[in-house]
Amino acid sequence: MSKEFWVRRTITLHKSRGIVHIEAEVDGWGDENPMIYLEWDARELLKDIPSLYEFAIKAEEEESEYRKKQYKEFKKKIK
């Protein structure tokens, strides 16, 4: 069974031999502690970094455009 979580922010990042450790604050836990601890194989994470970077840039650009559109609509309403 898979479960979806929205990562609000990264709390800590550190490494050990061959592993990247990430502790993050998440939404979607209900009443449970909103922290999740992840461990990534460092090599596999390095393979994903170019794609992760591209996805993050594009997602932020889309959010920025959406925000601009919302403010334009708001400006029309208050005139």
Number of domain units in the chain? 1
Q: Looking at the domain assignment, is residue 68 inside a domain?
A: yes
Going by C-alpha positions, the residue among 16, 52, 12 that lies closest to residue 35 is: 12
Q: How much is the average pLDDT of 22-30?
A: 84
Range of the domain at 14: 6-78
Q: Looking at the domain assignment, is residue 52 inside a domain?
A: yes
58 pLDDT higher than 80:
yes
**Are 68 and 54 within 8 A, CB to CB?**
no
Contacts of 68 (CB under 8 A, 6+ apart): none
Q: Looking at the domain assignment, is residue 11 inside a domain?
A: yes
Look at phi and psi of residue 18 and say left if phi exceeds 0, alpha if psi is from -120 to 50, else beta.
left
Q: Looking at the domain assignment, is residue 1 inside a domain?
A: no
Which of 4-8, 19-23, 47-51 has the lowest average pLDDT? 4-8
What's the confidence (pLDDT) of residue 29? Answer: 65
11 pLDDT higher than 70:
yes
Rounded Cα distance between 79 and 8, Å, is: 35
